[in-house]
Structure 1
Amino acid sequence: MDKQSPKARTRQRILEEAARVMRESGTESIGVAALMKRVGLTHGGFYAHFDSREALVEAVIAEMFTDSAQRMKSLWQQPDPAERLSALIDYYLSETHRDCRAEGCPVPALVSEVSHLPDEAKAIFTQGVSSMLKRLSELLAELGHRDAETLASSLLAEMVGALALARACPDKALSAAMLARSRQAIMQRTGREQAA
């Protein structure tokens, strides 16, 4: 049973809708009036939940990382660490993830904009990335990889870059090929797949 107050539920609806918009179109595309209209509320009602548009952006970035972690929870619950890593790579660099901008990882959606955001929003983004790196590093260490932190950083950068580039490429066949090649290269680097 949902124990949230009506105000908390409304705030959550605003956050979820704003997260969809930000993942699809970036932080600059969030206008308060348009967002509230999408949620079915009045423009004035926004200020019952957020002090400013900047406060909304900060809350949405945090929500995006929380939501992404929740969506990937089943991948992280696999008992075999090797299968966990393979599933993570397969999902992250999949055409499904590429095409699901509104529900995908927030990093590719925000990475080009973060440097232009206020310090508070940058700190929330950094915390989200750090959490992803920590989890990936722990998984790589569990699999016996030396210098797991460095490898985790490199893998995350490659996966984010490959996904962002695949999303930007209008040629779906080329986009899919980029994802497949990156997936294969990362699998080989992590010992999950033998070289061809």
Structure 2
Amino acid sequence: MPAPNPAAMEFLLTRRSRPAKTLTAPVPDRAALRDILTAAARSPDHGKLEPWRFIVLERKALLRLAELVSQMGPELGRTAEEVAKARAQYADAHLAVAVIEVQKPSDKVPPIEQTYSAGAVCLALLNAALASGWGANWLSGWPVHDPAFVARALNLSENERVAGMIHIGTESAAPPERPRPDLDSITEWMSE
């Protein structure tokens, strides 16, 4: 029989992302963040390719990204509302970790599995931050999907893209529980 871990299961059954706009300082110091990153790096990784890496964005870096959003948004055809929303995501943040998907050549591991691994790292990072007592949220948005923006903002190569921006901080307001999927409507049981 397997040895259950009730505390871990309770955490998974009750975990809840915290809206990034409600996260404030203080944020984890580098030692605390290192443990969170270590937990995230234990994600499934077929072929041990490590098709991802981390960029830790501290306050000054986030403010730089906010200004770059203001500058590049209109050049990229974004509306004033889109620019303001994206700018606030960085200007109001105190710490974020960009999970960077790094596609690597492999005869055994197709690109889609490398993408899945990067997504698994995002979720593991989010959950590790929450399990450590911090508030956290996984965001993206138009800036991180724009090749020109990420090349300039994060110095990404052509084989790299942002899988997610994990914002971490102190929760200033507990969010209400939100509706969850109806398990019966999304589950099919096959016994043969």
TM-score normalised by structure 1 residue count: 0.22
Whichever structure has more strand as a proportion of its residues is 2
Q: TM-score, normalised by structure 2?
A: 0.23
Structure with higher helix content? 1
| Greater RCO structure (CA 8 Å; 6+ sep) | 2
